[in-house]
Structure 1
Amino acid sequence: MTSQNKAAPNKAAEAAAAQGVHSLSPHLVCRDARKAIDFYKTALGAEELIVLPAPDGKIMHACLRINGSSVMLVDENVGCGAASPQHLGGSPVTLHLIVDDADAVAARAVAAGAKIVMPVADQFWGDRYGVIADPFGHQWSVATPGENAPRSAEELQAAARKAFAEMSAGS
């Protein structure tokens, strides 16, 4: 990183960090955020930092800690521009979670109601990796970094070429 690209100290980010919130956090819109919070606690070991219900009981703001990172949630309110993936017919975003045991996390998530999108398996880039869809329309990739991962861009490109060639030969 050059000195031109180096950001100045961010006092707002420092203040947020003091409250357990990262300076960049996903903010998920969920149909039934309370159930989503319970799912994330069961499936991903989430810890509630704050849950603020609106007068009607819906969640107007929640912040969880998942694997050391802050994740915010709100109940769907289409009239206010907060549409869930279920309302939109899906989401192009996948949240990436690095864990010690991708197989165990995926299994726990499935037991809590998630569906497998891509089974956990060893990948050419070196991770043990898979993708789940939670019951609220959000996709999560879970990965355990491998010890024999390609080290350079050239090694990674060679591993990708080999993996794609094998996939093409098998189809």
Structure 2
Amino acid sequence: MIQTVNSVPSRYHTVTPYLLINGASDAIAFYIRVFGAEEITRLTAPDGRIGHAEIRVGTSTIMIADEHPEMDFLGPKSRGGTTVSLLIYVDHADHVFREALDAGATELRPLCDQFYGDRSGSVTDPWGHVWSIATHLEDISPAELRQRFEELYAD
């Protein structure tokens, strides 16, 4: 009998972020505190570095590992910055934003109501990863989205 396996495992989405961090254990504690993450798995190498960990934030899985320079697996701080931002939807963006700052994140973009129907702002966590923290406030049609966008650039 041939057994079939889904190409995407059941607890993952098609795209799953994998964060490389110098200090993965501390980062996991930060994500638990700030985002209410749940630690699912942690595989620690004999040298104490996390080779692979998984946390769950809401319905999403995020994979995490310590930096492994010998494999060129380096986090944003070691590479001089990141070009990726993670967006997290929460029930109370103001509360989570404050919690992130209190836990050591730095404000990148202040929280405000956005033209696309979200209240959001961005922080950089202590390991150099950028997080946009948002609460969805209103559903808008594609036509309304386009109109609001164009109004931003009017004048």
Q: Specify if TM > 0.5.
A: yes
Q: Which has the higher helix share?
A: 1
Q: CA deviation at 1:10?
A: 6.7
Question: Aligned partners of 2:76, 2:112: CA distance in 1, in Å?
Answer: 26
Matched, 1:151 2:147: no
Question: Which residue does the alignment assign to 2:62?
Answer: 71
Question: Which residue does the alignment assign to 1:11?
Answer: 6
Question: Which residue does the alignment assign to 1:51?
Answer: 42
Question: Aligned partners of 1:46, 1:21: CA distance in 2, in Å?
Answer: 15
Task: Tell me the matched-pair count.
Answer: 152
Matched-pair contact (CA < 8 Å) for 1:134–1:140:
yes
Matched-pair contact (CA < 8 Å) for 1:150–1:159:
no
Question: Which residue does the alignment assign to 1:133?
Answer: 124
Q: TM-score, normalised by structure 1?
A: 0.83
Q: CA RMSD in A?
A: 1.7
Q: Deviations over 1:49-87 (max 9, x none)?
A: 001100011100000001221000000112212011001
Question: Aligned partners of 2:152, 2:12: CA distance in 1, in Å?
Answer: 38
Question: Which residue does the alignment assign to 1:110?
Answer: 101
**Runs of 4+ that moved beyond 3 A:** 20-23
The letter for the 2-side match of 1:49 is I
- Equivalent of 1:91 in 73, 82, 100: 82
Question: Aligned partners of 1:24, 1:125: CA distance in 2, in Å?
Answer: 23
- Equivalent of 2:152 in 154, 158, 163: 163
Q: CA deviation at 1:122?
A: 0.3
Q: Which consecutive residues of structure 1, in runs of 5 or more, have no partner in the other structure?
A: 1-8
Q: Which consecutive residues of structure 2, in runs of 5 or more, have no partner in the other structure?
A: none
Q: Deviations over 1:104-131 (max 9, x none)?
A: 1111111111111111100111110111
Matched-pair contact (CA < 8 Å) for 1:25–1:72:
yes
